[in-house]
Amino acid sequence: MKHRHLVVDLGNTRQKMGVFEDDHLIYTDQRLVQNLDLKVWEEWRREWDPHRIALSATIQLTDAQHEWINQNKVVQANNDVNYPFNVQYHTPETLGQDRLAAVSAVYALYKKKNVLVIDCGTCITYDFLTGDGDYLGGNIAPGLRMRLRSMHEYTNRLPLVEFPDEFPWIGQSTEQALQTGGVGMAILESKGFIFYLKENYGHLTTVLTGGDAGFIKKYLTDECDVHPDLILYGLNEILKNNEI
């Protein structure tokens, strides 16, 4: 009989789900977080009848959701479960569950390599795992849409500009300056961090995930892998490493 796992990644913008059958991702779905409802989890559970369920959540859960998690023996990607790498973050109890799932995925996929995960979601998170299995930590930076929106919201006169399909490196209008400042300069931040890690740790594999990964990849000259379902794979790994 096939072993089926349901995994759910609840981010600040979107909720992503995946179904694994014997380690193969056979189905994915996503919903905007605004339409969050326990009914969605219940539908997924009924439809897929999983043996086990894993969850990462970066938003506050409701009492009803907590109850559902307990009833269904859901494994959550928090500090209470086992990881095959050394978590060297000084506050693992406040570490994002999506980040632990991301590191779980690259630990399994890129054995013995130094890996930087850049999760380009609501926030951009940078997480660094060494080839010796030490997760040293990383950084949290504003996401692309957040950067565009905050310049409008924190100033008196700057407009809210559209997310650009393309941008010039040297902005020549207010709109372009904001668009390039918002998204282009964030890309240089990624390039700068990749450069820093290469200088200090030698070899580096960079893996991009999250809603804006494809966009950022287009402008990164450094070689990197885009893995849209990385967090889902990480949650499946966490299920394999933790009996409940």
Ligand X SMILES: Nc1ncnc2c1ncn2[C@@H]1O[C@H](COP(=O)(O)OP(=O)(O)O)[C@@H](O)[C@H]1O
Ligand Y SMILES: CC(C)(COP(=O)(O)O)[C@@H](O)C(=O)NCCC(=O)O
Residue ranges in contact with ligand X by CB under 6 A = 11-14, 121-122, 143-145, 210-212
Q: Which does 234 bind (CB under 5 to 8 A by kind): ligand Y, K ion, ligand X, none?
A: none
Beta bridge partners of 9: 16, 56
Query: Treating both helix axes as pointing N-terminal to C-terminal, what angle do 97-109 and 230-241 enclose, rounded to 10 degrees?
Result: 80
Q: Which does 99 bind (CB under 5 to 8 A by kind): K ion, ligand X, ligand Y, none?
A: ligand Y
The C-alpha atoms of residue 148 and residue 151 are separated, in whole angstroms, by 6
Cα–Cα–Cα angle for 190, 194, 199, rounded to 5 degrees: 150
Closer to ligand X by CB, 145 or 152: give it.
145
Closer to ligand Y by CB, 13 or 206: give it.
13
| Interface of this chain with ligand Y, residues 4 to 23, rule: CB under 6 A | 11-12
Does position 119 bind ligand Y by CB under 6 A?
Answer: yes
Token pair recorded at residue 167: 């941008």
Does position 212 bind ligand Y by CB under 6 A?
Answer: no
Catalytic residue (one of 37, 49, 80, 98): 98
Token pair recorded at residue 39: 């009914």
| Interface of this chain with ligand Y, residues 27 to 86, rule: CB under 6 A | 58
The C-alpha atoms of residue 122 and residue 144 are separated, in whole angstroms, by 7
Query: Residue 160 to residues 157, 172, 183, 215, 225: CA-CA distances in angstroms?
Result: 10, 17, 13, 20, 31
Specify the residue for token string 């997924």: 44
**Is residue 97 part of an annotated ligand binding site?**
yes
- Residue 98 is a catalytic residue: yes
> Residues with catalytic annotation?
98
Which parts are annotated binding residues for K(+)?
119
Binding site for ligand Y (CB under 6 A): 11-12, 58, 94-96, 98-99, 119, 121-123, 125, 140
Name the binding residues.
9-16, 89, 96-99, 119, 122, 174
